[in-house]
Amino acid sequence: MNPVVLTGVNKSYLLDAIGVPALHGIDLEVRPDRFTVLCGPSGSGKTTLLNLMGCIDRPDSGQIVVAGQAVASLSDDALSDFRARNFGFIFQNFNLIPVLTAFENVEYPLRLAGMAAAHRKQRVLEMLEAVGLGDRANHLPGQLSGGQRQRVAIARALAPAPQLVLADEPTANLDSHTGAAIIALMRRMQREQHLSVVFSSHDPHVLAEADDAVFIQDGAITAIERQENRAAAAS
């Protein structure tokens, strides 16, 4: 089963009482166990599409099915619970809670999910070790570098074992060396944990890592390239 399927999706926003189209006619299937990259310039609709996939926003029309669930039928409360169970989110501004340590930030979604304390501790330590921050568990975000904070954010997103991880340009605020390290880390975690990851970016280094590349321009999908098709074309 594909983790996300969008059919005929349209989305507009109001600007001074005028409807401004953000996405139109979106048909897309995100394949399981793939590193999918949404590619396009700023303003192309990448973030809007990511927000719709993550059930942060609702479309004006069309259907979105996540993990077999047609999400339009869910109430706001049910949608919030569904989002917490099925998604991990990674943002370019990290979105860590500044008064919580790295351990506590990663633990936070597990507390919300009601996981037992002993299991929580084990899972948090496993995830911090996986992202190379086992020795930074008691550090506050302000005591960490940008790359380390993004690693904490990755650990937090993956800790609840989500169906799908959505990353909105998480390397945009990092230098090129740190950004490349974060891309490599996310790619490794995706492969090791057999995750479905959707990563929005206009960075060619991110695009080079894509299993599936979805190109967006002016709110519409202009092309979809699969890794196997690229390999065949290169040969």
Range(s) of the domain holding residue 20: 4-234
End-to-end CA distance of the chain: 30
Instruction: Sort strands 61-66 and 196-201 into parallel, antiparallel or unpaired.
Output: unpaired
Structural domain count of the chain: 1
pLDDT digits (tens, 9 = 90+) for 53-107: 999 999 999 999 999 999 998 999 999 999 988 999 998 889 999 999 999 999 9
Cα 78 from Cα 83, distance rounded (Å): 9
Residue pointed to by tokens 């005929």: 8
pLDDT digits (tens, 9 = 90+) for 43-55: 899 999 999 999 9
| CATH code (residue 88) | 3.40.50.300
For residue 131, with 0-12 CB atoms within 10 Å meaning exposed, 13-18 middle and 19 or more buried, which class applies?
buried
Residue pointed to by tokens 């070790």: 129
Residue 231 is predicted with a pLDDT of: 46
Q: Which of left, alpha, beta for 93 (phi over 0: left; psi -120 to 50: alpha)?
A: alpha
